[in-house]
Amino acid sequence: MKTLIVYYSYTNNTEKVAKKIAELKKYDILKLEPLVDYSTDYQKVVDEEEAKMDSEEIVELKPINVDLNQYDRIILGTPVWWYTMAPVVRSFLSGNNLNGKKVIAFITNGGWIGHTVNDIKKYCEIESYINLKFNGDKIQNEKSLSDWINSL
């Protein structure tokens, strides 16, 4: 089974997890990026995106140079933004048909996963997921992450 890790990361926590999976399992990796970069001012992004979350905004993405048809399994990584997936991940899911692929998600957050899983399921079926809580830039339970990666 050929596996691709697809993720978006603003503060680099989700990226740390994606890179760790790729390194340990030797999976291909794809970083999603918005066409127009978000501000580097974290509070500005928080304020702007909070106002847009109810609209389920679709942002334009930089082109991806990966043929998703070459992969049987997608490991999808998203941070939680206002109790759901980041708009960049929503844009990826809305623009790509993942039917027939095994999708496993890892969801990074600083407190609560909210309705992220149900929102992802609007776009694709998820076989399983892991909720990864961070305290700043440190994961709260490194052993859970290691055990989960080993189970992939």
The residue segments making up the domain with residue 106 are: 3-38+51-151
> Looking at residue 45, what is its pLDDT?
87
Other Cβ atoms closer than 10 A to 10: 18
Mean pLDDT of 97-102: 96
Residue 45 lies in a domain: no
pLDDT for residue 55 is more than 80? no
User: In this prediction, what percent of the chain has a pLDDT beyond 90?
Assistant: 84
Q: What is the C-alpha to C-alpha distance for residues 89 and 69, in angstroms, rounded to an integer?
A: 18
Q: Domain holding 18: CATH number? A: 3.40.50.360
pLDDT for residue 109 is more than 80? yes
Residues facing 145 on adjacent strands: none
Q: Which pLDDT band holds residue 50 (cuts at 50, 70, 90)? A: confident
Q: Which pLDDT band holds residue 85 (cuts at 50, 70, 90)? A: very high
Q: Is the pTM of this model over 0.85?
A: yes
Q: Which pLDDT band holds residue 91 (cuts at 50, 70, 90)? A: very high
pLDDT in tens, 113-125: 999 999 999 999 9
Q: What is the C-alpha to C-alpha distance for residues 65 and 105, in angstroms, rounded to an integer?
A: 21
Residue 142 lies in a domain: yes
Residue 63 lies in a domain: yes
Say how many domains are in the chain. Answer: 1
